[in-house]
Each structure stands twice: as structure tokens, then as C-alpha cells.
């Protein structure tokens, strides 16, 4: 089954509350929360996302899918655990060494939350293999992290396939999420390659009817 995680990053200022309500009615599978610190990526969405998740929690029971694009992972986990996310994903590239990766995995799990690890387009997928038995999801970035509305990198299809095959071989039950440039044109290939959670921001936010686009992306 394919699920859709709606990135709220590109919702226009002032339109947040109505968009969140529409997404709740349209039954997005997750709210995708892009947390940026102005260091790991240029943009800083930290305070805004803390406010947004606080609001979403008050109006919706739908799960939160928190994507950390930050250097200081531990501190950010602490800040976002308060809203009881379903899953927290951090970037492999933000960790200094393997020990830190294992520490973050344990820390998130100890706090009753699922764990994901994300890889940037230039990171080899093999680098994440040793951590897969301990996590719930691998997030393959299909654009350079940092902003919404970018073009899907077609080279990433092979990366998705490689990961999917590896998981099959190793009998690993793992969600494969893709993020960046996902729309009705790019979604079919991504699903065929093996992704089962699609993050979409611009494609959903720009659509007239959130339910129609979410259903079409999922189909
Ligand atoms: C990029 C973010 C994405 C992005 C998706 O750094 O992680 O979640 O906002 O937006 P679209 O769908 O517009 O590429
Ligand atoms: Zn994201």
C-alpha cells in the first residue's frame, strides 16, 4: 500500500490553518514536517514548524512525519518529541560518525517513536545498509534538501530500486519514503521502483482539491 505524506513547507503564510483543516479532511496519511536549522541547509524553519505542529496537534489526530534537516539532532528531537510524532527522520550526513547514528536511533526509540534515516542525492545508499535492521524507514531525497518546488532527480530511481532489492534479499521490513519533486508525473515511476511513502508539497498545495490529488498520488 502506498501512503502520502503532505509537506506543509510550501503552504503560504496566513493560509496554514485552513490548509491543515483541508488536509485533515482529505485524509493525508501523514503531515510531513520539514525542520531546517539554517546550518545543515540554508533555510531556517525551526520556530515556524514548532508552531505548526503545535497547531496541527490541536486539530488533528493524523500522524506526524518529522524530517530533520539539522546539525544538532539530539536537541531537535527533544523539541519535537513534545508533540508525539509518529516518526522522526534524521540525516545520515548530519552525524559525525556511526556511534552517533546508533545513539540517535536508540534515543528516538526510547522515546516511543519510530525512526527514519534520510540520505541526500549524493550519498551512496550502501552507507545506510548497516543501520537498516534497527530503523523503520529510509527516506531517499529526490532533490537536494533545503526547499520545496524543485525538479525530481531521475537518477534517484535506481537508488530506490537498489534499496528495495536489498531489503527483499535481506528480508527487511522497511518503509521506503521519497521526498522532493513528487507529482502526478513522477509518482508512477517512484512507486514502481519500490517507494511506499510519497512526500509531496507543491503538487498538493497547488492543487484545487487536496483529496483528489492525494488519492491520485496514492493510486
Ligand atoms: C525539501 C523538503 C521536502 C519538500 C518537498 O528539502 O524535504 O519535503 O518540501 O516539496 P516538493 O514536493 O515541493 O518538492
Ligand atoms: Zn522533507
Strand partners of residue 137 = 116, 175
Q: What is the DSSP letter of 201?
A: S
Dihedral of CA atoms 25, 26, 32, 38 in degrees, nearest 10, equals -80
Which set of grid coordinates corresponds to residue 177? Answer: 519514503
Q: Is 146 in the pocket of ligand 1 (CB under 6 A)?
A: yes
How many angstroms separate the alpha carbon of residue 179 from the centre of ligand 2? 6
How many angstroms separate the alpha carbon of residue 181 from the centre of ligand 1? 7
The pLDDT value given to residue 94: 98
Best residue among 12, 49, 90, 180 to mutate for probing ligand 1's pocket (most ligand atoms within 8 Å of CB) is: 180
Q: Is 145 in the pocket of ligand 1 (CB under 6 A)?
A: yes
CB atoms near residue 202 (< 10 Å): 17
pLDDT < 50 regions, the chain: none
How many angstroms separate the alpha carbon of residue 118 from the centre of ligand 2? 9
Question: 163 φ, ψ to 5°?
Answer: -65, -45
SS3 194: coil
pLDDT in tens, 144-176: 999 999 999 999 999 999 999 999 999 999 999
Q: Alpha helices, DSSP H only, in 34-184? A: 46-59, 73-81, 98-110, 156-169
Q: Which ligand is nearest to the CA of 147?
A: 1
Distance of CA 79 to the CA centre of its chain: 17
CA atoms of 37 and 50, how far apart (whole Å) = 12
> Looking at the chain, which runs of residues are DSSP E strands?
3-7, 30-36, 64-69, 87-91, 114-119, 137-141, 175-179, 197-200
Q: Is 194 in the pocket of ligand 1 (CB under 6 A)?
A: no
Ligand 1 atom at minimal distance to the Cα of residue 145? 6
Q: Is 29 in the pocket of ligand 1 (CB under 6 A)?
A: no
Answer whether 1's CB lies under 8 Å from 187's CB: no
CA atoms of 3 and 219, how far apart (whole Å) = 9
Which set of grid coordinates corresponds to residue 145? Answer: 534538501
How many angstroms separate the alpha carbon of residue 32 from the centre of ligand 2? 6
| Burial (CB count within 10 angstroms: exposed 0-12, middle 13-18, buried 19+), residue 107 | middle
| 34 labelled catalytic | yes
Ligand 1 atom at minimal distance to the Cα of residue 41? 6
CB-proximal residues (5 Å) to ion ligand 2? 34, 67, 179
CA atoms of 88 and 5, how far apart (whole Å) = 13
Amino acid at each position: 500500500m502506498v501512503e502520502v505524506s503532505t509537506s506543509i513547507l510550501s503552504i503560504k503564510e496566513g493560509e496554514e490553518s485552513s490548509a491543515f483543516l483541508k488536509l485533515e479532511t482529505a485524509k493525508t496519511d501523514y503531515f510531513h514536517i520539514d525542520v531546517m536549522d539554517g546550518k545543515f541547509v540554508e533555510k531556517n524553519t525551526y520556530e515556524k514548524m514548532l508552531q505548526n505542529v503545535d497547531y496541527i496537534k490541536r486539530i488533528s489526530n493524523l500522524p506526524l512525519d518529522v524530517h530533520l534537516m539539522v546539525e544538532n539532532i539530539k536537541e531537535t528531537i527533544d523539541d519535537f518529541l513534545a508533540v508525539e510524532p509518529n516518526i522522526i527522520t534524521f540525516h545520515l550526513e548530519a552525524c559525525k560518525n556511526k556511534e552517533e547514528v546508533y545513539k540517535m536511533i536508540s534515543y528516538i526509540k526510547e522515546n516511543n517513536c519510530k525512526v527514519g534515516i534520510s540520505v541526500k542525492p549524493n550519498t551512496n545508499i550502501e552507507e545506510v545498509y548497516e543501520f537498516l535492521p534497527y530503523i523503520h524507514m529510509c527516506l531517499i531525497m529526490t532533490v537536494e534538501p533545503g526547499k520545496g518546488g524543485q525538479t525530481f532527480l531521475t537518477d534517484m530511481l535506481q537508488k530506490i530500486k537498489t534499496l528495495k532489492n536489498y531489503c527483499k534479499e535481506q528480508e527487511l521490513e522497511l518503509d521506503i519514503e521519497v521526498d522532493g519533486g513528487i507529482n502526478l508525473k513522477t509518482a508512477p515511476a517512484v512507486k514502481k521502483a519500490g517507494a511506499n511513502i510519497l512526500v509531496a508539497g507543491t503538487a498538493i498545495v497547488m492543487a484545487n482539491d487536496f483529496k483528489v490529488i492525494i488519492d491520485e498520488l496514492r493510486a
